[in-house]
């Protein structure tokens, strides 16, 4: 039986028109799977849609109505998806809250958005809610999936009709930015932005209803939300990972065919692959040789030129030594991944491509409903974010800032008229705040965030993300902060992947007598990273080379405040917190 895909033909039709078609999906491919103890529970499409309909009725019983803002405070899971579509189906406005948001961030969101209802995953989430002196109803996210009962056809038809009654111009969601540089802003997205993004992105990426994803991004992140919405549109199976920490185990169980993730996930996978390879019968030298062979072969294949016989022979050896084992670690079926949210290191993209997994890198912001540029598996360039998606028009400002116009661009910032006005040019182009350049005549390359560019005391501009990505190619490195604005040279703060450091020290007969707390001060760790940074500096101009560094005892984290929920470094906070350590690198 041919896989059934959904179309949204009318200009005024919203994504919610997919609900009716999704209910009729009767393929062997289910809507979702989630882990219940040791068992993966299967949810069919009719069960998923009926659960959404039932929860929509529960919301109305709570007094929720069209135009009400309803906050969702929960981990990524099947219940989140049910609640989101239930909110949208009654004409509500969903306001996602990051599950690891701080009390200050939650308080700001609640006071700013003033939701009528806050839906919490369980009692532990309710306890995290601060007292803000606002009349708001708090309820548990009780999204039950009933396996046996069937809804009354009349009741189900009424649900579909209500969902289809909403206007394309209605507000669908207010998504608060992850706050890399200050107070969070509420980004207002209408059903028009949601539809434009989902249809254009999933029409250029070859994902079918028979595909399986492994889903783990927080749905409070706009990229995670696009995966959720795209699931309803395209009809693939979402398999919910138990947690970020268990991805490596879940990926072997589910055997996904594609992933949607931020670069940090691919960096961790890359580091884990390197460590695992050197733990087995493959030496570190053999792995690094295989990696270089892979990158050489990838260059020929991307340019669609014949691979020399000697390179092809070496690649077959590398495939047998390393790459077949890498594929097995990733489930054996993974053919593609979509990366967004931050720049992906070019070498990581080339490595996975040579293993047979194309990482399609894209670019967008919360304000652009995620991707406005994207590579595709058929046309891409490593180190770029691809070409404009769908209706996107763009130009580069005099300083290189990327300016864009599209139906995907937000309606406004919630309660911030001046900020909204300042975000657009006089002729209606949105100011992304990112610096870019066009390469090969049509592919966009992001240099860095405009506000993150470092200007040394010598007047030279340095893009910190480029340097950070190069340093993070070492499996020993977890996070990096590059510093040097108005300073005489560039320095780095480095945190460790302690599991990988321990493994390497053990291979050198060291770790068994050491505690993890002292890894950062071990002379061999310092030596390895000094050698790695020396190699990194060989590819850099003298003014952007790293002249000094310090290894920190503890990693950056969301909980301690140095990382956003999408795992990007909060530079201002980290610079301030580690000012003494940074100052010492200039003495």
Q: Which of 410, 406, 84 has its CA nearest to residue 232?
A: 84
Alpha carbons within 13 A on the beta-carbon side of 550: 15
The torsion defined by the Cα of 376, 379, 383 and 384, in degrees rounded to 10, comes to -70
State the CATH number of the domain containing residue 125.
Answer: 3.40.50.980
Domain-located, residue 49: yes
Which range is least confidently modeled, 23-27, 62-66, 107-111, 206-210? 23-27
Do 150 and 204 reside in the same domain of the chain?
no
Rounded CA-CA distance 159/367 in Å is 30
Domain-located, residue 183: no
Do 150 and 244 reside in the same domain of the chain?
no
Query: How many domains is the chain partitioned into structurally?
Result: 3
Do 278 and 383 reside in the same domain of the chain?
yes
Domain-located, residue 379: yes
State the CATH number of the domain containing residue 341.
Answer: 3.40.50.12780
Mean per-residue pLDDT, 388-414: 96
Is the per-residue pLDDT at 317 higher than 50? yes
Domain-located, residue 254: yes
Which range is least confidently modeled, 187-191, 234-238, 409-413, 447-451? 447-451
Q: Where are the alpha helices (DSSP H) in 283-345?
A: 284-302, 309-318, 324-329
Asked if residue 430 lies in contact with residue 407, where contact means CB atoms within 8 angstroms, the answer is: no
Do 272 and 392 reside in the same domain of the chain?
yes
Asked if residue 116 lies in contact with residue 134, where contact means CB atoms within 8 angstroms, the answer is: no
Q: Which of 473, 480, 474 has its CA nearest to residue 495?
A: 480
Rounded CA-CA distance 489/542 in Å is 9
Rounded CA-CA distance 420/424 in Å is 7
Q: What is the DSSP letter of 467?
A: H
Is the per-residue pLDDT at 3 higher than 50? no
pLDDT digits (tens, 9 = 90+) for 217-228: 999 999 999 999
Domain-located, residue 223: yes
Do 524 and 574 reside in the same domain of the chain?
yes
pLDDT of residue 230: 97
Q: Is the pLDDT higher at 94 or at 354?
A: 94
Mean per-residue pLDDT, 118-134: 90
Report residue 143's pLDDT band, with 50, 70 and 90 as the boundaries: low
pLDDT of residue 566: 79
Do 468 and 520 reside in the same domain of the chain?
yes
Q: Which of 55, 57, 50 has its CA nearest to residue 151?
A: 50
Rounded CA-CA distance 460/544 in Å is 8
Strand-pair partners of 188: 174, 412
Strands 137-140 and 117-120: parallel
pLDDT digits (tens, 9 = 90+) for 417-468: 999 999 999 999 999 999 999 998 899 999 877 888 888 888 888 889 889 9
Mean per-residue pLDDT, 67-82: 96
Indicate the SS3 state at residue 330: coil
Rounded CA-CA distance 252/244 in Å is 14
Which residue in the block uniquely carries the two structure tokens 């050896």?
317
pLDDT of residue 1: 35
Mean per-residue pLDDT, 361-380: 94
pLDDT digits (tens, 9 = 90+) for 275-287: 776 666 567 777 7
Do 114 and 161 reside in the same domain of the chain?
yes
Q: Which of 404, 344, 412 has its CA nearest to residue 372?
A: 404
Q: What residue numbers bound the domain in which 266 lies?
A: 191-410+430-449
Do 474 and 443 reside in the same domain of the chain?
no
Q: Is the pLDDT higher at 518 or at 569?
A: 569
What the block records as the tokens of 558 is 């969301």
pLDDT of residue 572: 87
Integer CA distances (angstroms), 369 to 47, 201, 237, in order: 28, 11, 22
Where on the phi/psi map is residue 235: left (φ > 0), alpha (ψ -120 to 50), or beta? left
State the CATH number of the domain containing residue 541.
Answer: 3.30.300.30
Mean per-residue pLDDT, 556-584: 90
Integer CA distances (angstroms), 51 to 32, 42, 45, 318, 511, in order: 13, 14, 10, 48, 51
Do 440 and 542 reside in the same domain of the chain?
no
Integer CA distances (angstroms), 510 to 46, 114, 506, 520, 522, in order: 57, 55, 5, 14, 10
Do 95 and 155 reside in the same domain of the chain?
yes
pLDDT of residue 60: 96
Is the per-residue pLDDT at 574 higher than 80? yes
Do 482 and 436 reside in the same domain of the chain?
no
Q: Which residues contact 580 (CB under 8 A, 6 or more apart)?
A: none
What the block records as the tokens of 482 is 């590059």
Domain-located, residue 233: yes
Q: What is the 3-state secondary structure (H, E, C) of 525-554?
A: HHHHHHHHHHHHHCCCCHHHCEEEEEECCC
Rounded CA-CA distance 367/229 in Å is 17
Rounded CA-CA distance 8/462 in Å is 45
Domain-located, residue 376: yes
The CA angle 387-392-394, to the nearest 5 degrees, is 80
Report residue 178's pLDDT band, with 50, 70 and 90 as the boundaries: low
Integer CA distances (angstroms), 5 to 26, 401, 558, in order: 12, 38, 38
CB neighbours (10 Å) of residue 517? 10
pLDDT digits (tens, 9 = 90+) for 246-274: 998 999 999 999 999 988 888 888 888 87
Do 95 and 152 reside in the same domain of the chain?
yes
Q: For the chain, what percent of residues have pLDDT higher than 90? A: 62
CB neighbours (10 Å) of residue 404? 22
Asked if residue 564 lies in contact with residue 570, where contact means CB atoms within 8 angstroms, the answer is: yes
Asked if residue 65 lies in contact with residue 143, where contact means CB atoms within 8 angstroms, the answer is: no
**Average pLDDT over all residues of the chain:** 90
């Amino acid at each position: 039986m041919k896989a059934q895909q959904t179309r949204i033909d009318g200009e005024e039709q919203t994504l919610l028109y997919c609900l009716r078609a999704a209910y009729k999906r009767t393929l062997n491919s289910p809507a979702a799977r989630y882990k219940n103890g040791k068992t993966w529970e299967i949810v069919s499409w009719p069960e998923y849609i009926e659960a959404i309909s039932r929860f929509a009725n529960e919301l109305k019983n709570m007094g929720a109505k069209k135009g009400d803002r309803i906050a969702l405070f929960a981990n990524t899971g099947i219940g989140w998806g049910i609640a989101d579509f239930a909110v949208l189906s009654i004409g509500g406005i969903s306001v996602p809250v990051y599950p690891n948001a701080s009390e200050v961030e939650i308080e700001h969101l609640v006071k700013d958005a003033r939701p009528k209802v806050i839906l919490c995953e369980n009692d532990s989430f309710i306890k995290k809610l601060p007292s803000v002196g606002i009349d708001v109803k708090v309820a548990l996210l009780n999204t039950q999936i009933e396996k046996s009962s069937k809804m009354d056809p009349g009741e189900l038809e009424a649900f579909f009709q209500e969902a289809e009654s909403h206007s394309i111009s209605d507000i669908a969601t207010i998504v608060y930015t992850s706050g890399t540089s200050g107070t969070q802003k509420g980004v207002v997205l209408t059903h028009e932005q949601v539809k434009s993004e989902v249809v254009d992105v999933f029409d250029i990426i070859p994902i079918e209803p028979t595909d399986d994803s492994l889903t783990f991004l927080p749905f409070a992140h706009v990229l995670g939300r696009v995966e959720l919405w795209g699931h309803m549109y395209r009809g693939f199976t979402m398999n919910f990972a138990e947690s970020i920490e268990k991805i490596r185990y879940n990926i072997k169980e589910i055997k996904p065919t594609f992933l949607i993730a931020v670069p940090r996930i691919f960096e961790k996978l890359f580091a884990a692959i390197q460590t695992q390879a050197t733990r087995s019968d493959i030496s570190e030298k053999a792995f690094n040789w295989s990696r270089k062979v892979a990158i050489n072969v990838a260059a020929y294949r991307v340019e669609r030129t014949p691979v020399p016989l000697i390179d092809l022979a070496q690649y077959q050896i590398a495939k047998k030594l390393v790459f077949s084992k890498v594929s097995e670690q990733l489930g054996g079926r993974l053919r593609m991944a979509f990366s967004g949210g931050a720049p992906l290191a070019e070498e990581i993209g080339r490595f996975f491509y040579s293993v047979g997994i194309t990482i399609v890198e894209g670019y967008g912001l919360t304000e652009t409903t995620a991707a406005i540029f994207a590579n595709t598996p058929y046309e891409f360039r490593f180190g770029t974010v691809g070409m404009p998606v769908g209706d996107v028009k763009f130009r580069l400002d005099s300083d290189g800032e990327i300016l864009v116009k599209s139906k995907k661009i937000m309606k406004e910032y919630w309660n911030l008229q001046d900020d909204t006005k300042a975000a657009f040019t006089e002729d209606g182009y949105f100011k992304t705040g990112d610096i870019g350049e066009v390469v090969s005549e049509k592919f966009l390359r992001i240099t860095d965030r405009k506000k993150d560019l470092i200007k040394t005391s010598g007047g030279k501009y340095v893009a910190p993300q480029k340097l950070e990505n190069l340093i993070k190619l070492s499996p020993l490195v977890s996070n990096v902060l590059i510093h040097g604005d108005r300073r005489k040279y560039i320095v780095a703060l480095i945190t460790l992947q302690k599991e990988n450091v321990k493994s390497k020290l053990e291979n050198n007969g060291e770790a068994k007598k050491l505690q993890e707390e002292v890894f950062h001060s071990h002379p061999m760790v310092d030596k390895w990273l000094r050698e790695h940074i020396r190699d990194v500096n060989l590819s850099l101009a003298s003014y952007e080379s790293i002249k000094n560094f310090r290894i920190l005892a503890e990693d950056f984290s969301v909980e301690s405040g140095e990382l956003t929920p999408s795992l990007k470094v909060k530079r201002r906070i980290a610079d301030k917190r580690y000012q003494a350590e940074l100052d010492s690198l200039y003495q």
